[in-house]
């Protein structure tokens, strides 16, 4: 059994994805750890914490990683654009992976790697005490030897430049995979005319990205949106697909419960004894 498989469940994601098993993740951008806990205790395989467009600051991110780990789920943190130091911090506190937005080429990818992989691959600074505790590991030497393998660095592809350079980005040592932002990619490919993440014209570039990652022996991820779309994207070849998002879970749940309420309400007259 590999060392990655012996780690706590909070660090199971890399081995799962590299085995070809695939994973579905929830998406949380709110600061309340009750959201993280609720998502982590579903059948979803992981939780993405969004610091780019969500409301999470460093403190909320740290709490979210710990909350998901307590529920036995790994976390992947999307950091703000260019916030590579924050990506390093997320790994230090126990994230199983990090997503860097707006990676447009190999140079951007190499700068990202410098912060999230230890030497000789990168220049990540030492300080993984919290991560080691969540992983159930006490030996610094063992952590240093294995961490680059069981944590994931995703370069986000969401621009024309990133799409054109996807093979060069994937070829960068230390980049474990790519993660697609279909909203921004749609905006970019239509020169700002549309934001339609499920548009048919995106299928060809998305399939190309997934195929490029597979050919490079690396992982492909994507923001899946709706449940139906997430299923389509898995069939398309993406390994790591998010399903919905925190506010959407609440809205969908309320809509479903109200539909049940109205169905019962409209069945007929209620007797005096109910």
Q: Which residues are catalytic?
A: 53
CA distance 273 to 213: 63
Q: Three-class SS string for 152-201?
A: EEEEEECCHHHHHCHHHHHCCCCCCEEEECHHHHHHHHCCCCCCCCCCHH
| 3-class secondary structure, 137 | coil
Count CB atoms within 10 A of the CB of residue 163.
Answer: 20
* Residues linked to residue 78 through DSSP beta bridges, in sequence order: 50, 99
CA 239, chain centre distance (Å): 11
Q: What is the DSSP letter of 266?
A: T
């Amino acid at each position: 059994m590999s060392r990655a498989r012996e780690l706590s469940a909070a660090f199971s994601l890399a081995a799962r994805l590299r085995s070809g098993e695939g994973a579905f993740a929830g998406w949380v951008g709110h600061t309340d750890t009750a959201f993280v806990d609720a998502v982590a205790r579903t059948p979803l395989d992981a939780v993405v914490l969004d610091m780019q467009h969500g409301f999470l600051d460093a403190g909320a991110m740290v709490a979210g990683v710990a909350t998901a780990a307590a529920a036995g789920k790994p976390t992947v943190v999307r950091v703000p654009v260019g916030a590579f130091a924050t990506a390093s911090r997320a790994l230090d506190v126990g994230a199983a992976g990090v997503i860097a937005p707006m990676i447009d080429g190999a140079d951007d990818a190499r700068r990202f790697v410098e912060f999230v992989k230890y030497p000789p691959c990168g220049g990540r600074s030492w300080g993984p005490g919290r991560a080691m505790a969540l992983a159930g590991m006490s030996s610094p030497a063992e952590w240093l030897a294995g961490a680059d393998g069981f944590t994931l660095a995703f370069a986000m592809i969401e621009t024309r430049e990133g799409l054109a350079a996807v093979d060069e980005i994937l070829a960068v040592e230390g980049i474990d995979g790519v993660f697609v932002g279909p909203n921004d990619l749609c905006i970019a490919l239509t020169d700002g005319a549309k934001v339609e993440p499920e548009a048919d014209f995106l299928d060809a570039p998305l399939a190309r990205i997934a195929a490029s990652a597979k050919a490079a022996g690396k992982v492909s991820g994507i923001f899946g949106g709706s449940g139906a779309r997430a299923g389509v994207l898995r069939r398309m070849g993406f390994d790591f697909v998010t399903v919905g998002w925190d506010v959407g879970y609440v809205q969908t749940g309320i809509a479903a419960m109200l539909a049940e309420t109205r169905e019962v309400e409209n069945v007929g007259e209620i007797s005096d004894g109910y």
